[in-house]
Structure 1
């Protein structure tokens, strides 16, 4: 979990999309390799071995029969040719069958011997038939001829039984591969879903926390519960949470110091007003006792000195407030930049999601194309089944005609029987292929459903990203409002600075007047008039200072 927290948002989103893309590609490649392997295995069983062996044995049986017919006719050349062809075809079948140890050496279920032994028996009876024919032993010749032909027939039966067993083995292998791949990809999909839930929950939690804090700050609540630094992630969302924490802490500091400054400013205004009242009373008493003028001037000079010190303190506090407000404006700018970067990242994410949806659409089109091709194969299988049925019917008609022909049609009847067997085998093979194609169509339909659900997930994800971006825009608007408030505070402080400068000038004038009063009692009346006017200005300035202090307190109270 901590490892995911330290990743950027872009990497987290890549964790969601890249493994899924790789899984789809690997699935396509593995399925292609497995289908190619099945095709090669089926070709090896049904064509390279079954077809070649069966074809040679059937043709050998036909040649053997034709040799018998030639012997009856007394055609020695035709007899020798057909016997040699029989021998060659049987041994060609032997050469092909020997490549499969199971077919060649084992005694299969439902059979009584192996092809290896039957080849030896065929050679023995074949040679014995030749020898009996040369010796003129017709009975022995007939017996050995039939035994050799029975050996060919048994080899044909063994080949067919082997083909059935190999077909069962291939079907079991295909089922095993399908189950294995289904388990592997099922586990992979579950792992990807778990990772997606973890990443999305982490991203959504960080954004929700930062949004809640910013809403509280925008509402003037600075007493929010800050996220601990150790729990903040290292990605862009974590940076946004950290910036929110810093903003809240800085605002707390600024508002605390601003409250203190406002209270100090109010106190200074009250003291200034009090000093002004005292000076007014002193100036009234000057007309009653000239001898007390010097003491009043000294007291007045002291009060003016204190007022000057307070005024300088106020000026320093105002400068500090201005500096803090400037920092607040800077932090607001940084926060706004962070929001803009987050919105840019979301925009790029939306674009990447759009591109991924295009890739998924291409995969969906490919699956649908495969489905259409499988439908075409199914139609071809139906055509093969129809042809096999017609061939079987023709072989039946040929058998009937051969039966009508009697002894002359025996050879043709044998051939018709073999054709019927081949037609039946073709029909069975076509049905098996049809089952495989139906399975392929079913799997393709499930793949289409999965792709549709995937498209719906992409739609939901895109809508969530749009909502997130809208929230980020609202947050950026709130940051702009903070910056505007900081600017307004800065403008008020500029007004306070001007009032402070005016007050400093007034206090300086008052100090000069006090010095003149102390230096010359002869100008008492004129100085008292000027002093009264000065006190009036001081009182007005004190009132203005108190008014500004109250206004500043009202502004700061928003962040209470």
Structure 2
């Protein structure tokens, strides 16, 4: 009862709610994962595209710088080759320098020449000065080059950052001459600061020989040295990459940084862009994907809810039907119009309901039959009990009569012996013997009447015993019918158990939706098991009743045989008493004539004594037989009582089975 109460109190969740509970988080997580994957792929691709654009930009800047430097260098080499071809003297050399002055805007001071003897030549209009030619850095770099090339940047007298293009002049003179030209880096700064293709990207130019910044958007950093110990994470990271020669594009701090070497120089162009700028589009795309994902989740949830409602709707009716079945109502009608597994479930439940109706109807009918048969058995057992009690009472009366007969026969034997003794001792007692013989006549007459009563009682006992055997046989026939009914109940219980097993299998296939149906199947299985056990108990009881009936029949047959034997003995006793009576009559006549012939009386008395002793022995045997018949009658009475008790128990079992069936509505 408590389990049923707990089941009723247990909160029931709808399948649609559970499906939504499971599916919505799954769809949400899936969409979030897809958004995250798409964002990650977009970030990776955007970063890759930004790197490619940054590398393309820095490559273009490097090409522009190299082109600008190469253009200037070609002009300087042209002047150098012209001087070498002309082999001018000092006056001509001065004139040539003046003539090339102003041709290259990148070199506003024009070209100049330093000699190993310390002499120095420049354009007349140039403001360039050199106090110690041979110690100048441009001179030292120039004497190492045949062709003109750029050297290290430095600040000139006007504090402008310049780089010198120098080289040796081979004019056939023994004096070593170095030609040079200072190129300002203003044009390079313009290229570095404005040549970046990417919006929000910046660049700076570094001389790797001393890590000096040659060009930078922040003019305060120009000519400063970058170090790995700089507080600026970008500067320190760039310095580390330049020092290690690692010029691959990489992330440094919050920037994506690209490196490019300027051909023909020791310069490294560094271009960088904030990572946030690159990821700005990715963030926008991620937000857009998130919005799309939320909308997709909402649409998916609505679609799933609609589909679940449509698909699960038939289960609600089936659930109500199964709930009604669990409460014993089999008058329900199950909806099986669906053409899917739910429809199959409905069909199977309909078949199960029809099968249960038929089974419960059959059980009810058989229970009524069992009740009728148990009532008949009870009635027969009562009749048999009454008959056995009557038989026992008659046997008790027979026992008392036989006991009296034995007493009378013993008295006769004693009197006959006394008579013989008296006749043998003296004739004077003949009068007393005559009187005794009269008493003997009376006693023998009474004994004859008692024996006739015993014979009549034995006939009644035999008839009662025959009726008892017939009643016991009827009880045996009724027990066989009850056994057949119990077997039928056992078969019904087995079929019910199989139906319950099939219902459990269908419930297991239905999964979560079949739990309620599984409870019904379990209850039906328990009922079938109880019915089978009750049928088995009834069968065992009927078997015991059948054994008792067989014993009773055997005892009744034995009693009938004993009664027939006792009847024969009683008939013999009756004949004997007739003889005794006749003999006593003759003895009476002889006693009257005893006076005349005492010897004859003595012989007759002796014969009477012997016969009396034989009758006494016969009376003892009859008494023992009568006592056995009393015991048998008591056993029959006890067996009849057992049959009555079993009949009552069978009636109670039938009533219990009927009450089980009445719990269901069919």
Greater per-residue strand proportion:
2
Greater per-residue helix proportion:
1
